[in-house]
Chains A and B, each alone.
Chain A
Amino acid sequence: MNAGEPRRPDPDALLAEAGKSGRGRLKVLLGMAPGVGKTYQMLQQARRQKAGGVDVAVGLVETHGRPETEALLAGLEVLPRKPIEYHDRTLLEFDLDGALARKPSLLLVDEYAHSNLAGSRHPKRWQDVEELIGAGIDVWTTINVQHLESLVDVVWKITGVRQRETVPDAALTRADDIEVVDITPAELRQRLADGKVYLPTTAQLASDNYFKTENLTALRELALRRAAQTVDQQLLGAMRRAGIEGHWAAGERILVLIGPDATATSLARAGRRLADTMDASWTVAHVERPNRPSPSAAGAAQLAEAIELAQQLGGATVSLTGDDLVGAVLDYAARNHVTQIVIGKPRGGRLREILGASLSSALIRRAGGVALHVVTDATTTGRERRVRTSPRRPDAWRGHVGAAVLVAAAGAVAGLVDRFARGADLAMIFLVSVFASGLAFGLWPAVTAAALAALTYNFFFLEPRLTFYIGHASDLFTFLVFFVVAMTTGWLTGRVRDQERSASRRASAVAALLAASHRLSGAAKQDEAASALVEQLAAATGGRAVVFLPRDGDIAASVASPEMPILTTIDMAAARWAWEKGELAGAGTGTLPNAEWIFHPLQSHRGRTGVAALEPTGLSPEDERFVQALIDQGAVALERAELAVAAVDAEALRRTDRLRAALLNSISHDLRTPLATVLGSVTTLIDYGPSLDPAVRADLLESIREEAERLSRYVGDLLDMTRLEGGALVTRKDWVDVRDVLRAALERIERRRRGRWLATDFPDELTMVPADAGLLEQALVNILENAVAYSGEGSTIEAAAYEDRGNVVISIEDEGRGIPTTELKHVFDKFRRMEEASDKVKGTGLGLAISKGFVEAMGGRIAAASPIHGGRGTRVLVSLPKAIATHDILL
C-alpha cells in the first residue's frame, strides 16, 4: 500500500465481522490435557452469568461423576438429551434441535471435539456448535489442545498417542474468545494421583506415559502458544478493521506441494503450522502431469484426503498442470508472490538424489528468492512400505497369453531353422519374440516372454538339450539380454500407451464437457435445462441423478435420470440443507452423512437455481472435476432459463402496457377531436360570426351538433362500460318484440349510416322475449355502428330476426372485409379495434364489449362469424332465450 494513502479499514475484515453479526458468540475453554478443570471452570463462569440475569442453559456437560462438578450443575437448566439407537443400545446424545428450539442466550456444550453417533445431523459436535452460533445462540465449549487438527502430528510425536477426534483449526480460530484453563504440570499430576481426573480406559493404559511432566510441559506450551496465536490473529483482525497500520508480515505466502502419497496429509498440516507462525496465507498445490501415468487409486485417495484436510485447516488448494513439475510450481509461485515453498522429503531415494533428479534439488537450483522447507515425515521413514501402484488391468492375462504364443511361435520357427540351418543363432529368433511382446503387450507380458523364451531356448536348443542345465556362461548373458530387451521395450511401450490413454481421456473429457455445455446452453426452458443436466450427470457418474428445482418457496425433485428414485426424509432434509445453506450435504459430507445421496447446490452468479443430487459412486478426481464443471454449467443454464422466462413475462407486460398506452391515446384522441371541433367552431362563430356567410354559419352549427352528439356517444359508451364493470347495471325485463327494438336501433343509426344500405328481414310472427328494451337497443346500435364502420360505402347491412328452438335470434350482417380468424375471438374484448379499418373508424373500441355485457346481463348470448359470404362480411348473432316461466317474469 502506498505510504501516502490514508489507511482504510480492510473490506475483507469488515465483511468477516459483518458476517458475524446476528450470530452468537463462541467461547472456547482450551486446556493442555484432560483433568485441568475446563468443565469446572466453564460451569463456575456460567453460574456467575446466570446470577447476572443471563438466560443460561446446559446443552451437554460431562461431569464424569465428579461430585464437585455435579454440584455446580445444580440450579442450572440442563436440557434433556436425545436418545439415539446405536448397536442395540440406547445412548443419550446432545439434542441439537432441542437446543435450537429452546434458544437460550447462552448454551454450554462440553467437548468441542466430540464425534457424534452415526445418524446425527452432523458427524462432529463442532458442526453442531457452528449451527447453534449461526442461529444466534452464544456457545461456550471446551477442548484440549491435542484435538486440534494441525497439532495432531505434533502431539503424537510428544506423547505417542494419536488423536482420532479432531477439530479443524478454523473452528478454534472462529471463536470470539479463547480462554486457557491452565494449571502447572505438577498440579495436574497431583490431581491425577488423587484420582480426580477421569480418563477413559484406553487412555488410562497410556496415562503414565501421557502425563509425564515433560509431555505436559510441551502440551502446555502448545496450548498457550495456540491461544496466544489466536488472540494475536483476533487483535490483528481488529486492527485491520480499524485501519490501523500493523506490523503484520508483508505478505508471506506459503505454497505446500503435495503428491499422491502418504506424506500428503502431513505436509498439509506442516503448511498450516508454518502459516500460523508466520501469519501467512497458505495454499496446497498438487501438480498433474498429463504425460505421466495417473496415480494409483490409493495415491489418489491420499491426495484427495490431503486436499480436503487442507481446506478444513483453512488453506487454499490449487491443482496445477504441466509436465515440468518444477516449472509449473515456480510459475505459479512467481505469479502468486509465493515466498515459502514446503515440500516433502524426496522419495526417490539416495540414487535419484545423487543424480540430481529430486524435486528439492531442482527447486533449489531454479527457485530464486523463495525459501524452501523440506519436511521429513515420520510416517514414511523406516520400513513403511509404499502402497503398491500399477493396478492390474483386467485384460492383463491376455498380454501374457499373447507373449506365450509369440514365444511358442519363435520356438517353432527356431525348430525349423535348426533343422535346415544348423548352427544359426537361434537366440536372435527368441529375442524377436521378446521384443515383439514388449511392443505389443507392454512391460509385464514382455518379462513373461523373456522368461519363457529363456526357458524354451535353454530346454530345446541349448546343449545339453531337453534339460534346463546351462552349459555356458555366455548363455546366461543371452538370457540377461532377453530380460533387458523385455524391460526396455515393455517400459517404453507402456509409457507411450499411458500418454496416449491419458491424452485420449483428457480429450474425451473435454469433448464430453463441450457436448454437455452445448446441450445445456441449448436449453431455453428451465425443465429442459434440468433434464439435460440430470442426463449428463447420470452419464458422467454412472449412477442416478436428480435435480431439485424451487417450487412454492421449497424445493421439489423435478427431473431425474434414469428414473425418479424414492427419496427418504433424510435425503429431503439434506436437499433442503444444500438449498438453504448453499453447502454440499448428504452422503460423505459434513451434514446429514447418512443420506443416500450427495446434494450439490446449483450456485450461479445471482443465487441458487436448484440442487443436484448424485448417487455416491467412487469417482476419480478427474471425473469429480468433470461432474463439478457440469454442475456449475447446469446452474448457469438454469439461471439463464429463469431469466429467459422473466424476459418473456416482461415482454408480455410491456406489450400490455403498450396496448394500454395506445388505447388511452386513441380514447383521448376520440374525446379531443369533437371537443376541438366544437371549441374551434364556437370561437369562430364568436369572433367572426357577423362576417360569415349564412351557409358557412349553418355548417359550423351543424358541425357543432354532430360533434357534440359524437362526444355524448363516447361518454355514454364509457359510462355503460363503467356500469358493466362496476356491477351497477340494472336490467328491467319486460316482454319485448325484438323486431320493434331492432327497428328503433336502425332508426337511430339511420343518420350515421354514411351511404350504407340498411335492409331488414323479419318474419310475420315472432315470439316475445323477456328483455330490457333499452339495453337491447343500445347493444344493437353498437353492433350496427360497428357494421357501418367496418364496411364500405354502397354496401348493405342486413338485420334479421328469427326463432331458433328455444331462442329468438337477431342477426346483423355486413359486407365488409370481415374479421381475421385470429381476431374473431377478441372482437368482444374491451378496447379492441381492428388495425386497419376500410373506412376511418371512430369509436371507443367499447361498442361490442358493451353489447356483449348487456346481452349477457339479460341472459342472452352473442357471437360473431366471419367471413360469411365469399371471404367477406361479418355476422353478429344475438340470441335471447324465449319466455321460460321464471319467477321474475311471472311477477
Chain B
Amino acid sequence: MSEFKPRILVVDDEPQIHRFLRAALDAAGYEPLRADDGASALREIARKPPEAVVLDLGLPDIDGKEVLAKARAFFDGPIIVLSARDRENEKIDALDLGADDYVEKPFGVGELLARLRVAMRHRVLREGGEPIVTAGDLVIDLERRRITRAGEAVRLSPKEYDLLAHLVMGGGRVVTHRQILTAVWGPAHVHDVQYLRVFVGQLRAKIEIDPAQPRLISTEPGIGYRFNA
C-alpha cells in the first residue's frame, strides 16, 4: 500500500502548464490530476473530490469564475486561482466567490505550493478547530475573545476585535475587502473600504511591533488583507 498522496486537480487549457505542474506536484508529494476545460474539471471534482484545486480563470469553454461558483456548490476543499496580473477585478471576484487564494501568472512553483499548503492547513485547522492562534508573542484566544502580547492584555474595541478575528480565521489566506466589510460592518457597508483602512491602521498600531512595517496584517493592494500567523 502506497503512502497517502493528496490529490491536486490542475485546471488549465495550456498543456505546457500541465507539463511542469505535473512534474512539480509529483515531486512535492502530491498526486496531480489534469483537466483542460471547465466542464471536465467540474466532472472530475464531482466524481471524486480532490484535496485541492488549482484553477486557471481563463478557460476555453466556461468562464473560470463560473466553474468556481458551480464547484463551490458541492466542493468545500481549497481552491487556488491562477490569474493574470492585469485582471484585478477577476481576482477579487474569484475570492468573493469562494476561492481560497490566488497566484498571479507567471509564477514560481514554490509560491504556488506554499499557497496550496496554507490553504490546506487552514481547512484542517477549521475542521479540527483550535481556538487559540499564536503569531510570535501575540496570542489570540478566539473562544474568550482575549488578546495578549507577551502575556500582556491588548485592549481592542469590539469592531477591532471582530476585524482581527475575521482576518485570523482566514488562516493566512487573503480576505477581500468585501468579505471583511460584510462580516464586520454588515452588507450595507460593502463599499466603505475607507472604514477598513482606518480600523486596520488602529489594529496595527495595537498589535504590530512596528506599525509602519506591518508583518502580522499584510495588505494585498486593491484586494484585501492577509493575517500571517
Q: Interface on A for B, CB 8 Å cutoff?
A: 668-669, 672-681, 683-684, 687-688, 691-692, 696, 699-700, 703, 706-707, 840
Query: Range of interface residues on chain B?
Result: 20 to 34
Among B101-109, B172-180, B185-193, the stretch that binds chain A is B101-109
A residues in contact with B86, CB < 8 Å: 668
Q: Is the CB of B84 within 8 A of A684?
A: no
- B93-136 vs A, CB cutoff 8 Å, 1 = contact: the mask equals 00000000000011111100000000000000000000000000
B residues in contact with A680, CB < 8 Å: 17, 20-21, 24, 106-109
B residues in contact with A692, CB < 8 Å: 23, 27
Once the chains are docked, how many angstroms separate the CA of A672 from the CA of B105? Answer: 7
Once the chains are docked, how many angstroms separate the CA of A439 from the CA of B58? Answer: 88
Once the chains are docked, how many angstroms separate the CA of A646 from the CA of B17? Answer: 46
Partner of B19, one of A668, A683, A700: A700
Q: Is the CB of B28 within 8 A of A688?
A: yes
Once the chains are docked, how many angstroms separate the CA of A672 from the CA of B107? Answer: 10
Known: A668-B86, A669-B58. Contact between A681 and B20, CB under 8 A?
yes
Partner of A676, one of B13, B60, B106: B106
A694 to chain B, nearest CB (A): 12
Known: A669-B84, A672-B105, A679-B108. Contact between A684 and B24, CB under 8 A?
yes
Q: Is the CB of B20 within 8 A of A700?
A: yes
Residue B14 lies at the interface, judged by CB distance under 8 Å to chain A: yes
Q: Which residue of B lies closest to A673 (CB)?
A: B14
Once the chains are docked, how many angstroms separate the CA of A688 from the CA of B112? Answer: 14
Q: Is the CB of A675 within 8 A of B106?
A: yes
A residues in contact with B58, CB < 8 Å: 669
Once the chains are docked, how many angstroms separate the CA of A677 from the CA of B60? Answer: 18
Q: Is the CB of B109 within 8 A of A683?
A: yes
Once the chains are docked, how many angstroms separate the CA of A127 from the CA of B26? Answer: 94
Partner of A683, one of B13, B14, B17, B110: B110
Residue B194 lies at the interface, judged by CB distance under 8 Å to chain A: no
Partner of A703, one of B19, B107, B108: B19
23 contacts between A and B (CB under 8 A): A672-B106, A674-B16, A676-B17, A676-B105, A676-B106, A678-B106, A679-B108, A680-B20, A680-B106, A681-B19, A683-B108, A683-B110, A687-B27, A687-B109, A691-B27, A692-B27, A696-B26, A699-B19, A699-B23, A700-B20, A703-B19, A840-B13, A840-B60
Once the chains are docked, how many angstroms separate the CA of A148 from the CA of B86? Answer: 74
A residues in contact with B107, CB < 8 Å: 676, 679-680
Interface centre among A673, A680, A692 (most CB of B within 10 A): A680
Restricting to B5-60, which residues have a CB under 8 Å from any CB of A? 13-14, 16-17, 19-21, 23-24, 26-28, 58, 60
Interface centre among B13, B16, B84, B86 (most CB of A within 10 A): B16
A residues in contact with B23, CB < 8 Å: 681, 684, 688, 692, 696, 699-700
Once the chains are docked, how many angstroms separate the CA of A669 from the CA of B13? Answer: 12
Q: Is the CB of A684 within 8 A of B27?
A: yes
A residues in contact with B84, CB < 8 Å: 668-669, 672
Known: A676-B107, A683-B110. Contact between A703 and B20, CB under 8 A?
yes
Q: Which residue of B lies closest to A690 (CB)?
A: B27
Partner of A677, one of B13, B19, B24: B19
List 13 other contacts, CB 8 Å, given A699-B23, A840-B13, A840-B60.
A673-B14, A674-B16, A675-B106, A676-B105, A680-B109, A684-B21, A687-B24, A688-B27, A691-B27, A696-B26, A699-B19, A700-B19, A700-B20
Q: Is the CB of A677 within 8 A of B109?
A: no
Once the chains are docked, how many angstroms separate the CA of A482 from the CA of B106? Answer: 112
B27 to chain A, nearest CB (A): 3
Can you list the 7 inter-chain pairs with the closest CB atoms, starting with the nearest? Answer: A688-B27, A683-B108, A676-B106, A677-B16, A684-B24, A681-B20, A679-B106
Q: Which residue of A lies closest to B82 (CB)?
A: A676
Partner of B16, one of A687, A688, A691, A707: A707
Interface of A is mostly: helix
B residues in contact with A674, CB < 8 Å: 16
B residues in contact with A668, CB < 8 Å: 84, 86
A857 to chain B, nearest CB (A): 34
A557 to chain B, nearest CB (A): 53
Once the chains are docked, how many angstroms separate the CA of A788 from the CA of B84? Answer: 28
Interface centre among A669, A677, A678, A707 (most CB of B within 10 A): A677
Once the chains are docked, how many angstroms separate the CA of A747 from the CA of B222? Answer: 49
B15 to chain A, nearest CB (A): 9
A residues in contact with B110, CB < 8 Å: 683, 687
- B57-94 vs A, CB cutoff 8 Å, 1 = contact: the mask equals 01010000000000000000000000010100000000
Once the chains are docked, how many angstroms separate the CA of A674 from the CA of B19? Answer: 12
Known: A676-B17, A677-B19, A680-B17. Contact between A688 and B24, CB under 8 A?
yes
A671 to chain B, nearest CB (A): 10
Once the chains are docked, how many angstroms separate the CA of A706 from the CA of B16? Answer: 10
A326 to chain B, nearest CB (A): 59
A residues in contact with B17, CB < 8 Å: 673, 676-677, 680
Once the chains are docked, how many angstroms separate the CA of A696 from the CA of B22? Answer: 9
B21 to chain A, nearest CB (A): 7
Once the chains are docked, how many angstroms separate the CA of A683 from the CA of B24? Answer: 9
A672 to chain B, nearest CB (A): 5
Q: Which residue of B lies closest to A696 (CB)?
A: B23
A residues in contact with B27, CB < 8 Å: 684, 687-688, 691-692
A88 to chain B, nearest CB (A): 82
A265 to chain B, nearest CB (A): 65
Once the chains are docked, how many angstroms separate the CA of A679 from the CA of B20? Answer: 10
A residues in contact with B108, CB < 8 Å: 679-680, 683
Once the chains are docked, how many angstroms separate the CA of A681 from the CA of B20? Answer: 5
Once the chains are docked, how many angstroms separate the CA of A314 from the CA of B109? Answer: 84
Once the chains are docked, how many angstroms separate the CA of A620 from the CA of B14? Answer: 80
Q: Is the CB of B14 within 8 A of A677?
A: yes
A443 to chain B, nearest CB (A): 79
Interface centre among A683, A684, A692, A699 (most CB of B within 10 A): A684
Q: Which residue of B lies closest to A676 (CB)?
A: B106
B198 to chain A, nearest CB (A): 35
Interface centre among B21, B27, B60 (most CB of A within 10 A): B27
B residues in contact with A677, CB < 8 Å: 14, 16-17, 19-20
Q: Is the CB of A684 within 8 A of B14?
A: no
A837 to chain B, nearest CB (A): 11
Q: Is the CB of B16 within 8 A of A684?
A: no
B residues in contact with A678, CB < 8 Å: 106
A660 to chain B, nearest CB (A): 14
A839 to chain B, nearest CB (A): 12
B residues in contact with A700, CB < 8 Å: 19-20, 23
Q: Which residue of A lies closest to B27 (CB)?
A: A688
Once the chains are docked, how many angstroms separate the CA of A280 from the CA of B32? Answer: 90
B residues in contact with A691, CB < 8 Å: 27
Q: Is the CB of A684 within 8 A of B106?
A: no
B residues in contact with A683, CB < 8 Å: 24, 108-110
B83 to chain A, nearest CB (A): 11
Interface centre among A679, A688, A699 (most CB of B within 10 A): A688
A119 to chain B, nearest CB (A): 68
Interface centre among B19, B28, B84 (most CB of A within 10 A): B19
Once the chains are docked, how many angstroms separate the CA of A688 from the CA of B13? Answer: 24
Interface centre among B20, B26, B58, B108 (most CB of A within 10 A): B20
Q: Which residue of B lies closest to A710 (CB)?
A: B16
B11 to chain A, nearest CB (A): 15
Known: A668-B84, A687-B24, A691-B27. Contact between A673 and B16, CB under 8 A?
yes
Known: A692-B27, A703-B16. Contact between A684 and B105, CB under 8 A?
no
Q: Which residue of A lies closest to B16 (CB)?
A: A677
A490 to chain B, nearest CB (A): 80
B66 to chain A, nearest CB (A): 18
A842 to chain B, nearest CB (A): 10
A residues in contact with B21, CB < 8 Å: 680, 684
B residues in contact with A699, CB < 8 Å: 19, 23
Once the chains are docked, how many angstroms separate the CA of A673 from the CA of B105? Answer: 8
Once the chains are docked, how many angstroms separate the CA of A776 from the CA of B106? Answer: 35
Partner of A684, one of B13, B20, B60: B20
